[in-house]
Amino acid sequence: MEYKSEIVQALFNITGQTVRNWSSEFGSFLSEHAVGGDNKHRVFTEGDLTVFALISELKAKRMSTDDIHATLATGNRGELPDNITTGIVPVDTAIKISRLESEVSHYKHNYEHALSEIEQLKLEKARLEGELTSLSTVRQQLSDEHEKRDKLMREIGELEARLEFEREMQEKRDDYNVPQKVDHKLSSEI
């Protein structure tokens, strides 16, 4: 199995800088991928972890760097706990987890963006419903005005027909020399 730098930090309760320092200082006792460099991420094997275990143990005893080099050179290594795999995630699994976390973050961002758009659409819907209500009112008013116009047009038509009828009657009276209605008051005075 391979382990990321974060696992080494957690396992030995050290900082990322300490991992880099120890990888550099004691690189000759570590695997090629644990040394890093050239902007490469460090990846540690279980053998690398035993080197870190011994370094951590000897540092706790305040041994000098030269003494730690000498001890490692004799082939001594530290002991890893029996439950080393508990809480430690292999690199490939960590990569998958990192990708999934990135996807979750992406989906969360999309979800929040969608919620924002939903709120905007709700506001737009309310605005449009208000306009629709206004348009319905205007449409009703227009319908009422059309009815009034139609009624007036009918009245005009009736008045024009009556006027035409009166003209025709007048022409017929004029043709037959029929006197118009005589005012009864005038006729009684005559």
Whole-number pLDDT of residue 187: 52
**pLDDT higher than threshold 90 for residue 111:** yes
Q: At residue 28, what is the residue type?
A: S
Binned at pLDDT 50, 70 and 90, residue 84 comes out as: low
In CATH, what class is 2-89? mainly alpha
Whole-number pLDDT of residue 158: 92
Higher pLDDT, 75 or 183: 75
Task: Please choose, from the candidates 49, 61, 62, the residue with its C-alpha nearest in 3D space to the C-alpha of residue 22.
Answer: 49
Higher pLDDT, 84 or 122: 122
The H or E element containing residue 162 is helix 91-176
For residue 178 the two structure tokens come to: 């029929």
